Structures are given as C-alpha cells and as structure tokens.
C-alpha cells in the first residue's frame, strides 16, 4: 500500500493539469487578440520542467510553466496569431487535460480501493 501513497504520479498529474490550464488561458488570450495590431502569440512550456523533474527522480512542482512570446513571422500589422493553429492547440490541450483528469481519477480510485480492503 505504501507504494500507492508514496507514488509521485498524483503530483506529476497535478503539475500537468496546472500547465495545461495555463496553456488553455494563454491560447484563449491569443484567440481574443487575433486582430490586435502588434500582438505576439504566447506559448506555454511546462513539459520541459516536468520531464526534467521526473527524469531526476524529483517530485514535480505545480506551476503553470513558462510563457514566452512566439517568434513566428508576423503579418502586416505585426500580429502573429494564427487562428487555425490556436484552435488546434486549444482542442489538443482540452483532450490532454481530460486524459490527465481521467488518469488522476483512476489513481485516486486505486488508493480508495486499497484503503477499503486494508
């Protein structure tokens, strides 16, 4: 039973959910500013720090990751938001969020089942 409770899986999933939520907020901001002159799309990276923590055997920290402005080429008004790309990112992020929620739910169900049978 201690391997279920001492497992870092819930922390990794919580970190993923936090990063995905931040990505969703930044993507929504990008879409909202699709016609704003000079606006540069934001990009969120949390996977690098999550992978690094897991690779080093550390418990991942729960943060939104880092947000950087896209360096993709801009159109004539200085804006580089591509609505098709943002829609794809939003859809993928939503699916990944749901997958992480399902995995976390399964982990908690395993812990509940283990505690009931003890």
Handedness of CA 23, 29, 34, 38 (dihedral sign): negative
User: What average pLDDT does the chain have?
Assistant: 90
Global pTM value: 0.85
**Count of domains in the chain?**
1
The whole domain housing 39 covers 2-116
Q: Other C-beta atoms within 10 Å of 80: how many?
A: 18
* pLDDT value of position 63: 80
* pLDDT value of position 5: 54
Over residues 59-79, the pLDDT tens digits come to 898 787 899 999 998 999 999
For residue 45, the SS3 value is: strand
């Amino acid at each position: 039973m201690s391997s279920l409770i001492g497992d870092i899986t819930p922390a990794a999933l919580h970190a993923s959910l936090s990063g995905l939520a931040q990505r969703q907020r930044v993507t929504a901001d990008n879409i909202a500013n699709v016609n704003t002159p000079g606006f540069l799309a934001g990009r969120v990276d949390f996977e690098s720090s999550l992978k690094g923590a897991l690779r080093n055997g550390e418990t991942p920290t729960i943060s939104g990751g880092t947000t950087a402005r896209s360096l993709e080429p801009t159109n004539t008004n200085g804006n580089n938001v591509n609505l098709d790309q943002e829609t794809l990112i939003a859809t993928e992020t939503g699916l990944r969020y749901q997958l992480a929620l399902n995995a976390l739910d399964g982990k908690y169900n395993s812990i509940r089942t283990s505690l009931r049978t003890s």
